Amino acid sequence: MTRRMKWIQLGVLAALIVLLPLLFPSGYYYRVGALIFVNALSVVGLVILIGYAGQISLGHAGFAGIGAYACALAPEHLGLHPGLAVLLGAGISGVMALLIGRPILRLKGYYLAVATLGFGILVSMVLTNERALTGGPDGMVVADPGLRDLLRDLGLRLSGGELWYGVSGLVLLVGAWIALNLLDSPTGRAMRALHGSEVAAATVGIDVAAQKLRAFVISAVYASVAGSLLALQNQYVTPDVAGFLHSVEMVTMAVLGGVGSVLGATLGAAILTLLPQVLTVFAEYEQLVLGAVMIGVMIFLPQGLLPSIARRLRGTSE
């Protein structure tokens, strides 16, 4: 992975974000695009955790929930600007990940998956049951951060869809840039090394537990920021954002697209965000088709869509 590869990938992503609107038949698609970018952001975080460091989390939606509800609650109760609430949510998510990961990641094996599963359910239960604070299962309204008004004062008139398409796309680009920086850095190499062999990584001086913890905390912050963006653009949150299904969806997107690849993650997010909309023609068989697609990909393209396709194109298919 050279520096040149990093800029090519970022270039491709930037070009897609800028050029796709030319194909949009209506303003509605800006909403869909923004949703894809938000999903892709949390999946890029999972690429760091699963793809680089080889650890599985089944509760990352919990961090998305923290990010989302930080944007809903902090402006109302603390008088914080929604923009700062994003940072507050990211901070809380990072600290939570640290507290959960520190004892768990000393152990080898699947303990992280089980612990995060519990964490995700816990967050989702709190959000559902603390009615007085969160509005319960009905959710709550999120204050407008005033970004649109600010831009209008600066002479840029955007629809809500266009604005959040741009903001989400920009944040995704930054997230992808950071993940690609990490890939070809000492920390990223240490993560990939322990993924390959924990014992060999330790013998070259890599603190295996500490590097796993780093990956977990970083990916939690990604999920949190994605949750915040979702809350801000919908101007509404429900506990579903922290639900178990959302956690599974994130992991599925990552694995479908190619869990070691930032661009693959984006592709996985795009497909699984769009597919349910396309598959509505199958009516009640929608879930069935979705499941079949997943099984097919795992059997025929086990490394995920993008890496497998890239390998075929290079002619080095195994």
Neighbours of 301 (CB within 10 A): 17
Comparing CB distances to another protein, the nearer of 149 and 207 is 207
Q: Give the containing element (helix H, strand E) for 211.
A: helix 208-234
Q: Which stretch binds another protein (CB under 8 A): 153-161, 197-205, 264-272, 278-286?
A: 197-205
Among 16, 76, 117, 187, binds another protein (CB under 8 A): 187
Q: Does 212 bind another protein (CB under 8 A)?
A: no
Q: Does 50 bind another protein (CB under 8 A)?
A: no
Q: Does 204 bind another protein (CB under 8 A)?
A: yes
Q: Which stretch binds another protein (CB under 8 A): 83-91, 184-192, 240-248, 285-293?
A: 184-192
Structural tokens at position 158: 């955007």
DSSP state string for 141-164: E----SHHHHHHHTT----HHHHH
Buried b (16+ CB within 10 A) or exposed e, 53-84: bbbbbbbbbbbbbbbbbbbbbbbeeeebebee
Report the nearest approach of another protein to the CB of residue 214 (Å): 6
How many amino acids of this chain bind another protein (CB under 8 A)? 27
Q: Does 90 bind another protein (CB under 8 A)?
A: no
Structural tokens at position 260: 């070691």
Q: How far is the CA of 255 from the CAs of 8, 37, 51, 275, in angstroms?
A: 22, 17, 9, 16
Among 205, 280, 284, 315, binds another protein (CB under 8 A): 205
Contact 41, 229 (CB under 8 A): yes
Q: Taking CB under 8 A as the rule, which mask of x and - marks residues 214-243 in contact with another protein?
A: x---x-------------------------
Which residue shows structure tokens 């599963």? Answer: 117
Q: Which residues bind another protein (CB under 8 A)?
A: 178, 181-182, 185-190, 192-193, 195-197, 199-208, 214, 218, 260
